[in-house]
Each structure stands twice: as C-alpha cells, then as structure tokens.
Amino acid sequence: MTRPPRRARAVDVAARAGVSVATVSFVVNGKAEGRVSPATRLRVLDAIAALGYVTDASARALATGRRRQVALLAHDMTNPFTAQVAAGAAAGIAEATEGTGHLLLLLASDDAEPDTEPVGAATVDGVLINYPGTLPAGRPDLPVVHLDDPAAGGHQVSMDVTVGARELAAHLADLGHRHVVFLDSNRPWSTFAERRTAFTGEFTRRVPGAVVTGDRSGIDLAGAVGRAAAALEGWLGSGATAVVTATDVQALGVLSALATAGVPVPGRLSVAAFDDIPFAAVSAPPLTTVALPARELGHRGAVLLSRVIDGTAVDPAPLVLPAHLVVRGSTGPP
C-alpha cells in the first residue's frame, strides 16, 4: 500500500476547496445540511479525495474505496487459542500496513455462527477466517485468507497438524500404549478431522492390535469436564490407558474430571492434546501436547491478507507452519 508523504489535514482540505475548516468539519461529520451549499459540499468532497484526507476514516473510505479495516471471523474469543490468533493478527496487520493504519475488527461468537453481515456490508477491506466453513455472504469479491482450515481453497495459512499428530502417535506407541480414547471436537471442522485421522493412522500403523476409541465433546472447559465425567467409567472399563483430545482446553477439562475422580495421571491414564496454549504448561501435571503456532498463524495470515488486498499476493499457495510435539508430565507408560 502506498502512503502519501505527509498526511493531509483538515486545513489542507479547506485551503484546496477554498472554504473554512469549520465547513470541512460540517461536511465530514454529516452536518452540511442547511449549513453548506451543495456546490461547496462537492468541492470539499473532491478536495478530500484529491488529498487523501485520512483524519476521518469514513471520508477517506468514500474517497478511496478503502475502509482501512480488516475483520477476523473466529469462534469464541475466550478460547485461548483463538485469543493468540487474534493477538498475532492484530500485530501482523499493524506491521503489514505500517502507515496506512488498518485496524482489526474481531467478530467472534461463542454459541453460533459469527454475524457476517458487517462484512457483507462492506465495512472491511478483507477478512481473516478462523471459523472453518464460514464465508462472508454476498461479497464474492472480498479478499479472504483462511486460517487453520486445510479443506479451504484460495489463500490460506495452516499448520502441519499431520506431522505433529504422527509425533504424538509415535510417542504413545513408544511408551507402550495399545488402547487410546480420542476425544474429538463436536464441531465438523477440517482441522479436527486432520488431527484425528493423522493420529489414528499413525498409531494403528505402529501398534499391532491398536484400538482407538472415538468420543467427542464441546471444545469449551465445561463441555469437556462434563463429557469426561460421564464417560470415565466406560473409558477405564474398556481398557484404554491414554486419552488424546483434539484441543488443550478439552484436555484441561479431562484432567479436572480425572482429579475429581481420583484417577492418577499418567499412572492410570495418560492425557495428551493439541494446541499448546499457555495454560497447558502449568496444568497439573503439565500437558503433553502438539504445539501449534497460533500467534504466528494470525500474524502470517494478516500479512498475507494485506498483500491480497494490495494485489501483490501471488497465486494462492497454502502456507504451512511447522508443528511439533512437546512432551511434559501428563504422559507415561501404561
């Protein structure tokens, strides 16, 4: 994005249009009616467009067709992974648009699809989507970058979830586990399918007679605690010696349910997960998990989106960030 050498100010607009600063203010603040003649108003709007006057973002948007905002569509901003993505995206947008001041608009919902109407209503220049399967309605031309959605087409940034899942499967196989419960997310998103499929494929390839029992829960703490408490007797009775969850938040819920039930971790059940949110390092025991670079995902996605908006992005090619297993105290021999 190009940047004028100096930002135009209201006084510059006034000088070019041959009016007072107060007149400029009436026009940009929508108070021209009855105060400013139509001809003068048009002169001011033209001066705004010519100078790229940016103090009022709305005037600039009309003048340039740019809104200087991008949106992040995400699920549940109280999820620590999402929060890291958002923090990275905010940093990335600030870095990539230095001088043009794009802002990040966070559209998140914790119990329904995010409201994409603001996106459709053209208040943004582009959208980062970290809500798999969700596309802004009615704006097929809008620049979009998908985050962590390997099934999405177009511009995207994802993570090498498969490599991380295989490392986790190898770790549990090496420890001697034969029967694992995989507690999936109850949301049908491609990133979760990839986690489950890659783990299960590698675990069954490595372990003769391997059993992977499927289960699922919400990816919120309460949902995972509830499911683990209800299913625990069944898990233990089935002979499972480890529980792998699709997300760290679920694993923290499982650890809580196991502590309440007096089940030793990892003595009786090993627990492992995906994400490596900050809280995973301080749980009791600290959580073995596949580290997925959430902050970098948001950061890289925002930089890519700014290039798509600029028209300087090359043809879509998935950018895949590395993932790796972090072994901590929640996994041990069966």
Q: What is the Cα 153 distance to its own chain's centre?
A: 16
1: Cβ contacts below 8 Å, ≥ 6 apart: 97, 99, 100, 306, 309, 310
| Closest C-alpha among 236, 183, 179 to residue 207 | 179
Q: Which of 259, 264, 267, 268 binds a second copy (CB under 8 A)?
A: 259
Checking phi first, is residue 311 left (phi over 0); if not, alpha (psi -120 to 50) or beta? left
Q: Which tokens in the block code for residue 62? A: 């009309």
What's the min distance (Å) between Cβ of 178 and a second copy?
28
Is residue 30 part of the contact set for a second copy (CB under 8 A)?
Answer: yes
What's the min distance (Å) between Cβ of 316 and a second copy?
24
101: Cβ contacts below 8 Å, ≥ 6 apart: 54, 68
Element containing residue 290 per DSSP (H, E): strand 288-291
Q: Which tokens in the block code for residue 309? A: 């908006």
Contact criterion met (CB below 8 Å) for 181 and 213 = yes
Is residue 57 part of the contact set for a second copy (CB under 8 A)?
Answer: yes
Is residue 103 part of the contact set for a second copy (CB under 8 A)?
Answer: yes
Site string for a second copy, 178-217 (x = CB under 8 A): ----------------------------------------
Determine the size of the site formed for a second copy (CB under 8 A): 65
Is residue 95 part of the contact set for a second copy (CB under 8 A)?
Answer: no
Q: Which of 236, 286, 320, 326 binds a second copy (CB under 8 A)?
A: 286
Q: Which residues bind a second copy (CB under 8 A)?
A: 28-31, 33, 38, 41-42, 45-46, 49, 54-59, 61-69, 76-78, 80, 83-84, 86-87, 90, 94, 101, 103-108, 110, 115, 117-118, 121-123, 221-222, 225, 252-253, 255-256, 259, 278-279, 281-284, 286
